[in-house]
C-alpha cells in the first residue's frame, strides 16, 4: 500500500509540474510555435514564434480581471483533405496540432483555451465547461506584435462595413477597428487577423493601447457583450494567418478549416451561377423600388410610373439571361411593403405587388432554364421578418426559387441592436438554417462580417459587407477610387465571398453626373476573376451589354466556381493579377487590375499544364484607353500559349485585362 501511495504522490507531483510549466504547441511543419504561460499575476498569456523569430510577444488572454491556474492540458492533431461544395479551390487541406489548456479562476469558474497551430497560422478559442449561465462584459485578448506592422483596416462603426480600407502603422491607429485587419510586416511578410466560426457570440473589434492590439466585443444595447451558457457556448476562433508572400496570404484556407464540416446531407440544389437583375437601373433612378406613391402623411396618392419589378420587365430580363447563359434574375421591390419609408414599414414576404405575377414568372423562368433570385428587405425589422421567415422561404420553395438576397438597411436591428452583436449573429444564423430547410441559398446584405460558415452551411453563398459597385451610382464623393478594388482581395474578400456586383458597361450617369465607376471596360471584365463570389451578379442593364457584344463575351464565358486559385502578382492597393482554373475544365481565367497609376504587368503562365498548347483570348485596355475620357477603348486578341509563355500587359490608369485560356 505504501508503494501505491508513493506512486500516486509522485504521479500527482509530475502532473502538477506539467501544469505549471509553459505548454508549447508547434505547427505540423515545425515552423510556428505557440507558448502558453500564466504570469505572476495569474493572467494567462500566449506568444508566437515563426522560424525562431518572435511574431507575438507575451500577450494577455481571458475575460474580465480573473486570475487563473492551470488544471490540466490535452493534445490532439488532425490531417484531412475535404471537398468544397463550391469555392476558390475544389479541395482544402486541414492540418493542425492542438493544445487545450483547462483553467480555473479564483472563484472556481472553469475556462478552456483551445489553441491550434497550422503551417500557415494559429488560432485559439474560449470554451466554458460546467453548468449555468454567465454574462461577459470584457474580453482581455491582445496581440503584442514584435514588429509593428502596417495595417489595412476599417473603423468599427462603418455602416455595414461599406467603407474604404486605409493603411497606417498599427500603433498610429486611433480609432477602434472592425475585424478583419490585414497586416504588412517590416520584413516583407503578411498577416491576416480575423475570427472564424462566429456562432452565438459577438463580433470582435480591435483598438490599440499600451503597445498591444486589444479586443472589443460588439455589445448588446444593455452593455452586455456575450451571454454564455456553460457547456454550450464557445467563442469564435481568434485566428492569425502568417504568410511569407501575397499568394500564400490570399490562398490560405485557415478560416474555413476552423469551421465545422458541412451539416447538409444533400447539397445538389446549391448551384453557383452568374445572374443579372432589376437593380442597377433602380440605383440610377430609372426605376423605383416602390409600387405606390405616398404623400408626406403616408396617404396613397397614386402609382409609381416607373416601378421596376414588373412582370413585363422581369420577363425581358429572363429572356436576356436565358439567351446569354445567366443562371438567374434578381427582382428587388417585387413585394408589398416598399411604399414610403420602407425601412420602417412591415413588409410582407409572401405578397407580390399587383404588377408582379410571381406564378407566371416562375413558370416562364423554369421553361427558359433560368431561376428567379428572390429578395427579402427587412429594413432591420427582425421581429416582423422572423414571424414570416419560415412561410416566406416555403413560399419561394413552392415557386422553385432557391436563391434569396436578404437586406437589413437600418443602422441597428429593431432600432437598438448592432448587426454584429450577439443578437445579430443569432439572427443571421437562424436565417441560414431556416433557408437550408427549404433548399434556399442566401446572399446576405448589411450582414455581419463573414467568418467561414459557408463550410458548415454552403447555402450561405455570398454577402455584401463591402462598399460595392452600387456606390458608384450615387455616392456624393464621386465613387470609389480605383485603388479600392486593389485592396479588397486582401481585406474583405479574405473573409469570404463578396457580392460586389462587377460588370458595369455604361459609365454615363446623367442623374448624378459627379459620380461614376472609376474603371475602364477591360477592368470591369477582370473584376469577375479578381473578386470572388459563387453567386456573381453582373451589375448593368441588358441594353448596356448589347452595346459592347464583343467585350460581353467574356462575361458570358467566365465561370464562378473554381478548381484552383493563384495570385500571380500583387501589391495591396496598387495592382492585382489573379489566375483561376475552372472547376469543371482545364480552362484558366486571369484578371489583372491596377489603381489610378497605369502600369505594365509581366505575366508568366507557368501554372498551365506542361507540354499542352492553349489559346489565350485577351481583353485588354487599348493603347488610348483612359478611365475618364476613353473608358470603352478595348483591344481583343488571341494567341497560342503554353506553360513557358510570358505575357506582357499594359494596364491603363484604373484599367485592367481579362484573359480566357483554353
Residues 209 and 290 in one domain: no
Residues 366 and 479 in one domain: yes
Number of separate domains in the chain = 2
Q: Is residue 344 included in any domain, yes or no?
A: yes
Residues 193 and 290 in one domain: no
pLDDT of residue 298: 82
**Are residues 454 and 443 in contact, defined by beta-carbon separation less than 8 angstroms?**
no
Length of the chain measured in residues: 662
Catalytic positions: 470
Q: How far is CA 524 from CA 132, 502, 545, 642, in A?
A: 54, 6, 12, 26
Question: Could you tell me the sign of the dihedral formed by the alpha carbons of 79, 498, 330, 554, in that order?
Answer: negative
Residues 401 and 292 in one domain: yes
Question: Could you tell me the sign of the dihedral formed by the alpha carbons of 480, 486, 490, 493, in that order?
Answer: positive
Query: Is 479 strand, coil or helix?
Result: coil
DSSP state, residue 474: H
Residues 307 and 193 in one domain: no
**Band of residue 553 on the pLDDT scale cut at 50, 70, 90:** very high
**Are residues 463 and 499 in contact, defined by beta-carbon separation less than 8 angstroms?**
yes
**Contact residues for 580 (Cβ-Cβ < 8 A; gap 6+):** 88, 529, 562, 564, 565, 566, 588, 589, 590
- 26 preceded by a cis bond (ω within 30 of 0): no
**Band of residue 297 on the pLDDT scale cut at 50, 70, 90:** confident
Boundary-marking domain end, from 534, 553, 572 = 553
Residues 405 and 525 in one domain: yes
Q: What is the CATH number of the domain that holds 62?
A: 2.70.98.10
**Band of residue 6 on the pLDDT scale cut at 50, 70, 90:** very low
Task: Note the Cα 422 to chain centre separation in Å.
Answer: 18
563-577 pLDDT, tens digit each: 999 999 999 999 999
pLDDT of residue 8: 37
Q: What is the CATH number of the domain that holds 294?
A: 3.20.20.70
Q: Is 455 left (phi over 0), alpha (psi -120 to 50) or beta?
A: alpha
Residues 361 and 476 in one domain: yes
What crossing angle do the helices spanning 382-398 and 422-437 adopt, rounded to 10°?
Answer: 20
Query: Is 569 strand, coil or helix?
Result: strand
Residues 201 and 98 in one domain: yes
Q: Is residue 268 included in any domain, yes or no?
A: no
Residues 363 and 245 in one domain: no
Q: Is residue 58 included in any domain, yes or no?
A: yes
pTM score, whole prediction: 0.95
- Domain of 222 in residue numbering reads as 22-257
Boundary-marking domain end, from 230, 257, 284 = 257
Q: Is residue 428 included in any domain, yes or no?
A: yes
438-460 pLDDT, tens digit each: 999 999 999 999 999 999 999 99
Residues 232 and 278 in one domain: no
**Distance between CA atoms of residues 346 and 43, nearest Å:** 49
**Band of residue 19 on the pLDDT scale cut at 50, 70, 90:** very low
**Distance between CA atoms of residues 601 and 575, nearest Å:** 9
Q: Is residue 619 included in any domain, yes or no?
A: no
Q: Is residue 3 included in any domain, yes or no?
A: no
Average pLDDT, the chain: 95
**Are residues 469 and 482 in contact, defined by beta-carbon separation less than 8 angstroms?**
no
Q: Is residue 283 included in any domain, yes or no?
A: yes
Residues 279 and 201 in one domain: no
Residues 140 and 282 in one domain: no
Q: Is residue 653 included in any domain, yes or no?
A: no
Boundary-marking domain end, from 227, 257, 287 = 257
Amino acid at each position: 500500500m505504501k508503494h501505491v501511495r508513493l506512486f500516486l504522490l509522485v504521479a500527482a507531483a509530475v502532473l502538477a509540474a506539467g501544469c505549471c510549466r509553459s505548454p508549447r504547441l508547434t505547427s505540423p511543419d515545425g515552423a510556428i510555435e505557440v507558448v502558453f504561460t500564466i504570469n505572476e499575476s495569474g493572467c494567462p498569456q500566449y506568444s508566437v514564434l515563426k522560424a525562431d523569430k518572435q511574431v507575438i510577444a507575451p500577450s494577455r488572454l481571458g475575460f474580465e480581471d480573473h486570475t487563473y491556474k492551470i488544471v490540466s492540458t490535452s493534445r490532439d492533431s488532425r490531417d484531412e483533405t475535404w471537398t468544397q461544395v463550391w469555392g476558390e479551390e475544389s479541395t482544402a487541406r486541414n492540418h493542425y496540432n492542438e493544445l487545450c489548456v483547462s483553467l480555473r479562476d479564483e472563484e472556481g469558474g472553469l475556462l478552456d483555451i483551445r489553441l491550434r497551430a497550422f503551417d500557415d497560422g494559429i488560432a485559439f478559442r474560449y470554451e466554458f465547461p460546467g453548468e449555468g449561465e454567465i454574462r461577459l462584459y470584457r474580453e482581455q485578448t491582445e496581440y503584442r506584435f514584435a514588429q509593428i506592422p502596417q495595417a489595412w483596416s476599417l473603423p468599427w462603426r462603418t455602416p455595414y462595413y461599406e467603407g474604404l480600407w486605409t493603411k497606417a502603422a498599427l500603433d498610429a491607429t486611433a480609432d477602434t477597428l472592425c475585424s478583419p485587419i490585414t497586416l504588412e510586416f517590416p520584413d516583407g511578410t503578411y498577416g491576416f487577423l480575423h475570427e472564424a466560426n462566429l456562432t452565438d457570440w459577438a463580433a470582435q473589434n480591435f483598438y490599440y493601447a499600451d503597445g498591444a492590439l486589444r479586443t472589443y466585443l460588439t455589445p448588446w444595447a444593455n452593455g452586455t457583450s456575450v451571454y454564455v451558457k456553460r457547456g454550450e457556448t464557445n467563442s469564435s476562433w481568434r485566428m492569425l494567418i502568417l504568410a511569407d508572400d501575397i499568394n500564400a496570404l490570399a490562398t490560405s484556407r485557415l478560416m474555413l478549416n476552423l469551421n465545422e464540416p458541412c451539416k447538409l446531407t444533400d447539397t445538389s440544389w446549391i448551384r453557383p451561377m452568374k445572374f443579372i437583375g432589376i437593380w442597377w437601373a433602380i440605383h440610377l433612378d430609372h426605376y423605383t423600388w416602390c409600387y405606390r406613391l405616398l404623400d408626406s402623411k403616408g396617404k396613397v396618392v397614386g402609382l409609381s410610373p416607373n416601378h421596376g419589378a414588373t412582370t413585363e420587365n422581369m420577363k425581358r430580363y429572363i429572356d436576356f439571361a436565358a439567351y446569354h447563359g445567366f443562371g438567374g434574375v434578381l427582382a428587388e421591390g417585387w413585394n408589398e411593403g416598399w411604399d414610403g419609408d420602407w425601412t420602417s414599414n412591415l413588409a410582407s414576404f409572401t405578397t407580390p405587388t399587383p404588377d408582379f405575377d410571381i406564378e407566371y414568372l416562375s413558370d416562364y423562368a423554369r421553361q427558359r432554364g433560368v431561376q428567379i433570385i428572390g429578395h427579402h428587405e427587412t429594413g432591420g425589422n427582425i421581429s416582423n421578418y422572423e414571424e414570416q421567415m419560415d412561410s416566406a422561404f416555403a413560399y419561394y420553395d413552392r415557386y422553385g426559387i432557391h436563391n434569396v438576397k436578404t437586406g437589413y438597411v437600418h443602422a441597428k436591428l429593431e432600432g437598438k441592436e448592432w448587426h454584429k452583436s450577439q443578437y445579430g449573429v443569432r439572427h443571421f444564423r437562424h436565417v441560414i438554417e431556416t433557408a437550408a430547410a427549404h433548399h434556399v441559398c442566401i446572399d446576405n446584405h448589411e450582414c455581419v462580417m463573414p467568418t467561414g460558415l459557408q463550410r458548415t452551411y454552403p447555402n450561405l453563398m455570398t454577402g455584401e459587407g463591402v462598399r460595392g459597385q452600387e456606390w458608384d451610382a450615387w455616392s456624393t464623393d464621386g465613387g470609389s477610387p480605383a485603388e479600392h478594388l486593389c485592396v479588397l482581395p486582401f481585406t474583405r474578400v479574405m473573409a469570404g465571398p463578396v457580392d460586389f456586383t462587377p460588370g458595369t458597361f455604361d459609365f454615363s450617369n446623367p442623374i448624378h453626373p459627379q459620380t461614376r465607376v472609376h474603371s475602364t471596360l477591360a477592368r470591369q471584365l477582370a473584376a469577375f476573376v479578381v473578386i470572388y463570389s459563387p453567386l456573381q451578379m453582373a451589375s448593368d442593364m441588358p441594353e448596356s451589354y448589347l452595346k459592347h457584344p464583343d467585350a460581353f463575351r467574356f462575361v458570358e464565358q467566365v465561370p464562378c466556381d473554381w478548381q484552383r486559385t493563384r495570385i500571380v502578382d500583387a501589391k495591396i492597393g496598387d495592382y492585382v493579377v489573379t489566375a483561376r482554373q475552372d472547376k469543371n475544365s482545364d480552362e484558366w481565367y486571369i484578371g489583372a487590375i491596377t489603381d489610378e497609376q497605369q502600369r505594365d504587368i509581366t505575366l508568366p503562365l507557368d501554372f498551365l499544364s506542361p507540354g499542352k498548347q492553349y489559346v489565350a483570348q485577351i481583353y485588354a485596355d487599348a493603347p488610348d484607353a483612359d478611365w475618364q475620357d476613353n473608358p470603352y477603348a478595348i483591344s481583343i486578341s488571341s494567341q497560342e500559349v503554353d506553360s513557358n509563355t510570358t505575357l506582357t500587359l499594359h494596364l491603363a490608369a484604373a484599367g485592367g485585362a481579362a484573359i480566357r485560356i483554353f
